[in-house]
Structure 1
Amino acid sequence: MKKVAIYRNQLFKLSETFIVNQALAIKDFDVEFMGREAVNPVPSTSLRVSTSSTGHVSKIYQALTMSPRALLRTTKENPPDIVHAHFSVDGLYALRYAKKLGIPLFTTLHGYDVTTSRNNLLLSKSPSWVNYALFQKQLKHGGQLFLCVSDYIRQKAIEAKYPESKTLTHRIGIDTDVFRAIHNNKTERIILHVGRLVEKKGTEILIDAISMIKHRLNGYQLHIIGDGPLRNFLDAKIRILGLSEHIKILGELPHHCVIDKLKGSSIVVVPSVQAKSGDCEGLPTIIMEAAAFSLPVIGTYHSGIPEAIIDEKTGYLVKERDVVSLAHRIAHLIESESLQATLGAAGRKLMETEFNLKTQTARLEKMYEAFL
């Protein structure tokens, strides 16, 4: 059986379960994860993993030089037939490995990697981001195929001078057999928001919206799952606005805990915005997970989000940073559990037809085969 290497510099981040889920859905190829280091435990005993870092010094050396030598040594006895990197920054590192082996490189583009400005990449102080800012032309020329998680991200990739002939939209999708609503599972009145606490997630805007309708919440609470550089600022904002009884920041949680919380929630809100750096979302996985559980989702007209939420049919869409409209839509859903059920059911149907992980992964495998 042919073998595909799933490449990420830092493997198994808690916010990137979509990478593992896609890999586990691959049926006709052996799969091995490869990268510089695993930053969390391997999420499944069935996964094979090869990392190139043997210590702090080697990790820094590889980050600075993009050298594939350590990974080539690690995989010498059983090299892959194709490499599939996630995020263009990582694709640049995987390119040298793939070139040494003379095998194709696929790269999935997720969002920030084609929307963050070159200046912000250079000022990031991250060796991998700086390398990408300086040498991205190598990836654009040398990569065989660039898979974009939404039509919006494909357009942004083309604007960033990725060859149009090498780019196509390919949604990762969601396993609609695993993510299925359980009747009468709502144990609390929860409005859920999940994401790293950074500007593009729009968390501050959501807090302002809750402040506007705090007297209409009717027992609902906003639970925020995530952590990040804005954590202290957002904690302070909640205290200052007197919202501590209405909003709880739960921090970063393992994916199974996120799913448990999602199952018991009533509404999911994804108020994403374009950050000052230009950073945008691709297509947040939480939208697909929530819709698969038949939950209504409120999102923004941002990046690929309108491709997964049909306004007034599966959920609601509002303009970026429109606090008043966001507050109005949340209040509207709070006041009608029957509307929650109607929108949620339509969202579930959309996931089954357009965002089915098994169907999307089967298409991916056919693309692998075409290049081999």
Structure 2
Amino acid sequence: MKKRKPLKIAVVVGVFPSVSEAFITNQLRFLVKSGHHVDILATRHLDLDNPLCSSEAYNSLKTKARELSKTSLLSKSYFQRLFKAFSILLKFRSSIHLLKAFNVFKYGSDALNFNVFFKTYYKYYFNIYNYDVVHIHYGDNAVHLDSLINNFKKSIVVTFHGYDAHKFEKSFYNLLSQRKDITITVNTNFTKSKVEKLGFDTFQINILPVGLDTNIFNPEKKDSKFDNINILFVGRLIELKGPILAIKIVEKILEARDNVILNIIGDGPMFSECESYIEINNLTDRIHLLGSKSQSDIKYHMKNSDIFLFPGIVDGQGNSEAQGLVIQEAQAMQLPVVTSNVGGISDGLIDKKTGFIVEESNVDTFVSKIVWLMDNPSIRKEMGEAGRQFVVRNYDSSILGEKLLDIYYDSLKN
């Protein structure tokens, strides 16, 4: 770990805590452990009573989290606003922006009821707290913070995760893309190409995948010897993840083999469709819908599986998987992966060494690769070990955390 000057960092998210954003939590824990001052700012919802906060990962962070919302500031009663305003003034009494907000001659009653004060406090929030770096997760979140960004002249880092790069038109990002002093991070080359099409310059964009704690996702001995080959699918049950396709692939394998089990972990709008297909085609003995599971449960199923299947597709809206962190989690647990060549998935494994990359929706090829792995346990073992090494070298949170810090310090030099 490099020795550098500690930074004061605001990490801006939409919701905190969020079970689907463990990769951000890993990043936060690394920054804190590295000696930096970190504030977590939730722009949509702060839920510190969430059971997640009782876990070690989140419990250590919740004292650093607070809400960043103009509406929450203005919706308080007069006496609450009075108390809040003076507590802020005591802390930041040298802020010229805040003192000017009490100019009754200029603002009249809006000064007396603290409307101007809290609008000013929100608008100059990043300046008032004197951050070195403001790191905003999700591009659309950054757009909604436009006034704060425009008033902050130090380092702004914006991370695009995938949906934010293909859900919105180029015009949505017009103002943000004009800021050439903003640093962008993306998880894969695929997301980079999407962000470039939105108007951001190549020189602004850094590829920084989301990572995992390989000490947590660490392979252990299976609980017992299983007679069946256990195939695992983990993901939200939506079209682009390909859950129905996963079922059809295993259904075809079952036409010739009777020693296969598919466990599907995840919930979502396609749950009922998957359930109906399994029941109608008499697959309930061999294909199990397990619903949403905790990280420890997912790790347990990975430990006791033989092959990880992730047949992602391009959905009806043209969306596809930007990275698919679960693919790296599976490899960290020494599972060979069979996945598709859509979106940014191919960046996250080594074809024919840690798994197989298959043409999108090609059921026959998926079947042939899985059957070949079933028949070659020594190759499964080799691929699993190679996958673990690949993820430890390229996706461990501590390694990616150091790369993030490099990005922070470089952005401060510009």
Q: For the superposition of Structure 1 and Structure 2, which TM-score range results when normalised by the shorter chain?
A: 0.7 to 0.9
Q: Does 2:32 match 1:30?
A: no
Give the structure 1 partner of residue 174 of structure 2: 137
1:268 match: secondary structure: strand
Distance in 2 (alpha carbons) for counterparts of 1:80 and 1:241: 58
Give the structure 2 partner of residue 235 of structure 1: 275
1:358 match: secondary structure: helix
Distance in 1 (alpha carbons) for counterparts of 2:124 and 2:35: 26
Distance 1:74 1:344, change over 3 A: same
Distance in 2 (alpha carbons) for counterparts of 1:180 and 1:37: 32
1:11 to 16, 34, 39: 16
Distance in 2 (alpha carbons) for counterparts of 1:192 and 1:147: 30
1:153 match: secondary structure: helix
Matched residue count: 349
1:44 match: secondary structure: helix
Which sections of structure 1, spanning at least 5 residues, go unmatched?
Answer: 59-66, 119-132
- The answer to whether the 8 A contact 1:50-1:74 is kept is no
Which sections of structure 2, spanning at least 5 residues, go unmatched?
Answer: 1-5, 76-117
Distance 1:359 1:68, change over 3 A: farther
Alignment of 1:12-161 (within 5 A): 12-26=17-31, 27-35=34-42, 36-38=44-46, 40=50, 41-42=52-53, 43-47=57-61, 48-52=64-68, 78=129, 80-116=131-167, 118=169, 135-142=172-179, 144-161=182-199
| 1:73 CA displacement | 9.2
2:19 match: secondary structure: coil
Distance 1:95 1:195, change over 3 A: farther
2:384 match: secondary structure: helix
Distance in 2 (alpha carbons) for counterparts of 1:207 and 1:290: 19
Q: Residue type of the partner of 1:214? A: L
| 1:345 CA displacement | 0.8
- The answer to whether the 8 A contact 2:253-2:367 is kept is yes
Distance in 1 (alpha carbons) for counterparts of 2:15 and 2:39: 14
| 1:218 CA displacement | 4.1
Q: Does 2:345 match 1:308?
A: no
CA deviation string 1:140-181 (max 9, x = no partner)? 223611111011211222123221121121123333333222
Q: Does 2:207 match 1:169?
A: yes
Distance 1:184 1:93, change over 3 A: same
Give the structure 1 partner of residue 324 of structure 2: 284
- The answer to whether the 8 A contact 1:51-1:74 is kept is no
Distance in 2 (alpha carbons) for counterparts of 1:38 and 1:216: 51
- The answer to whether the 8 A contact 2:136-2:158 is kept is yes
Q: Does 2:222 match 1:206?
A: no
- The answer to whether the 8 A contact 1:217-1:334 is kept is no
Distance in 1 (alpha carbons) for counterparts of 2:282 and 2:368: 20
Distance in 2 (alpha carbons) for counterparts of 1:89 and 1:13: 17
Distance 1:250 1:154, change over 3 A: same
Give the structure 2 partner of residue 122 of structure 1: none
Give the structure 2 partner of residue 260 of structure 1: 300
Q: Does 2:232 match 1:180?
A: no
Give the structure 1 partner of residue 88 of structure 2: none
- The answer to whether the 8 A contact 1:203-1:271 is kept is yes
Alignment of 1:216-231 (within 5 A): 216-231=256-271
CA deviation string 1:9-35 (max 9, x = no partner)? 123332221111122122142222211
- The answer to whether the 8 A contact 1:172-1:361 is kept is no
| 1:210 CA displacement | 1.2
Q: Does 2:401 match 1:361?
A: yes
CA deviation string 1:333-372 (max 9, x = no partner)? 2233222111101111211222232122101112112223
2:392 to 352, 358, 366: 352
- The answer to whether the 8 A contact 2:230-2:307 is kept is yes
CA deviation string 1:308-340 (max 9, x = no partner)? 222211101111111121122222222332221
Identical counterparts, % of pairs: 26
| 1:202 CA displacement | 1.0
